[in-house]
C-alpha cells in the first residue's frame, strides 16, 4: 500500500503529548471533530485549520513523550494525519498509534533530511510504500522497518478494538 501526503515538518525533538493534545482537554468528552480542532494547538495554533486529510507529520526524536493518553494519537488521526515519520517515538505513543491504526514510522535519516531541508520541503509531498518500507522525500528515498506480525494484524483490523472484536467473534 502506498500513501502520498503533504508534509508538516516539526523541527523539534521531545514533542510531548500535552503539546499534541493539550492536557486541559483530557477530561472533556469531545467528538472527533472537536478533538481534531485541538490538534497541535500548543505547538502550531494554525495546524488544525490547515491540516488536510492524508497529510504526513515529520518530527524529531522522542515524539509523543509524556503521558500515555491515547487522545494524543486520536487528535492527529481525526485531523486527517495518515502517518508520522520521526527519528524515534516514545514507546507508549508508538504502541497507542498502532492501537489506533495511525502509521508511526521510525526513520531517523528521513527525519533529519526533512528537517535539514525544511524551507524547501515544507508542504511538499512525501510518498510512503508501507509494504516495501520506503519513503520518498523530495528526490531522496529512505528505508524503514514496515509493520509485521501482530502489529500488522491490529493495524489491518483498523485498530486494537476492532481486532479484539474480531478475535472474540471467532
Asked whether residue 27 carries a pLDDT value surpassing 90, the answer given is no
- Print burial letters for 90-114: b (CB count within 10 Å at least 16), e (below 16): bebbbbbbbbbbbbbbbbeebbebb
> What is residue 28's predicted lDDT score, i.e. its pLDDT?
80
For residue 114, the domain's CATH number is: 3.20.19.10
Return mean pLDDT, the chain.
Answer: 94
Query: Tens of pLDDT along 109-138?
Result: 999 999 999 999 999 999 999 999 999 999
Element (H, E) at 123: none
pTM for this one?
Answer: 0.94
What are the grid coordinates assigned to 126, written together? 512525501
Asked whether residue 154 carries a pLDDT value surpassing 90, the answer given is yes
Asked whether residue 1 carries a pLDDT value surpassing 90, the answer given is no
Separation of alpha carbons 123 and 63, rounded Å: 20
Q: Can you give the residue range of the structural domain that contains 111?
A: 2-169
Q: Nearest 5 degrees, angle CA 11-CA 12-CA 16?
A: 135
DSSP per residue, 41-88: TTT-TTHHHH--TT-EEEE-SSBTBS---THHHHHHHHHT--EEEES-
Query: How many domains does the structure of the chain reveal?
Result: 1
Amino acid at each position: 500500500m502506498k500513501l502520498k501526503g503533504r508534509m508538516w515538518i516539526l523541527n523539534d525533538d521531545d514533542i510531548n503529548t500535552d503539546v499534541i493534545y493539550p492536557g486541559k482537554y483530557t477530561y472533556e468528552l469531545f467528538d472527533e471533530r472537536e478533538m481534531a480542532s485541538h490538534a497541535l494547538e500548543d505547538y502550531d495554533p494554525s495546524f488544525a485549520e490547515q491540516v488536510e486529510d492524508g497529510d504526513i507529520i515529520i518530527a524529531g526524536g522522542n515524539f509523543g513523550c509524556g503521558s500515555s493518553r491515547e487522545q494524543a494519537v486520536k487528535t492527529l488521526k481525526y485531523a486527517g494525519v495518515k502517518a508520522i515519520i520521526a527519528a524515534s517515538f516514545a514507546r507508549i505513543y508508538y504502541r497507542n498509534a498502532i492501537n489506533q491504526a495511525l502509521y508511526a514510522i521510525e526513520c531517523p535519516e528521513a527525519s533529519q533530511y526533512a528537517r535539514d531541508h525544511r524551507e524547501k520541503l515544507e508542504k511538499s509531498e512525501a510518498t510512503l510504500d508501507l509494504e516495501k518500507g520506503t519513503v520518498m522525500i523530495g528526490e531522496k528515498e529512505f528505508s524503514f522497518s514496515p509493520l509485521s506480525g501482530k502489529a500488522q494484524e491490529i493495524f489491518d483490523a483498523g485498530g486494537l478494538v476492532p481486532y479484539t472484536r474480531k478475535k472474540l467473534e471467532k
